[in-house]
């Protein structure tokens, strides 16, 4: 009887380990976000993980991003990726800035926000003109 209980406990422990290893390393405490077609915002006490937003453009379109961020702890990185996933722009945090670029190719550009034990907020809006 004792052997069966030990096997069951071992089996359950194994399932827990498998489940934990399959989880992504993402943590959001006090997280509030809003995603609209041309805007993404979030405020948080602690953010560890990655958020991605797609911007669909045609070659020759001008994209203007208005970026506001506040980092009270940890690190927050904001990048713009080209359709081939190369980094087009790294955006400095704790500054309110406007960034412009002309799309060299048709496809999906990406706004990628990565937090590492970050506290604070961000608001990113974009406008596309043909």
Report the distance separating Cα 54 and Cα 112, nearest Å: 9
Query: Phi, psi (5° rounding) for residue 90?
Result: -105, 125
What is the tens place of the pLDDT at every residue in 52-106?
999 999 999 999 999 999 999 999 999 999 999 999 999 989 988 999 999 999 9
DSSP 24: -
What is the tens place of the pLDDT at every residue in 31-42?
999 999 999 999
Report the distance separating Cα 61 and Cα 102, nearest Å: 6
| 15, 48, 97 from 74: Cα distances, Å | 33, 9, 21
Token pair 């453009």 is found at 57
Q: What topology does CATH give the domain 25-129? A: Jelly Rolls (2.60.120)
Domain ranges within the chain, ordered by starting residue:
25-129
pTM metric for this prediction? 0.78
């Amino acid at each position: 009887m004792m052997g069966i209980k030990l096997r069951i406990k071992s089996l359950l422990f194994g399932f827990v380990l498998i489940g934990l290893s399959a989880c992504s390393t993402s943590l959001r405490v006090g997280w509030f976000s809003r995603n609209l077609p041309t805007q993404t915002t979030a405020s948080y006490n602690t953010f560890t993980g990655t958020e991605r937003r797609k911007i669909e453009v045609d070659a020759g379109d001008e994209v203007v991003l208005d970026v506001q961020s506040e980092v009270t702890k940890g690190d927050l990185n904001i990048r713009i990726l080209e359709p081939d996933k190369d980094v087009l722009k790294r955006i400095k945090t704790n500054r309110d800035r406007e960034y412009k670029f002309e799309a060299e190719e048709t496809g999906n550009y990406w706004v990628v926000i990565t937090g590492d034990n970050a506290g604070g907020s961000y608001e990113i809006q974009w406008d596309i003109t043909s």
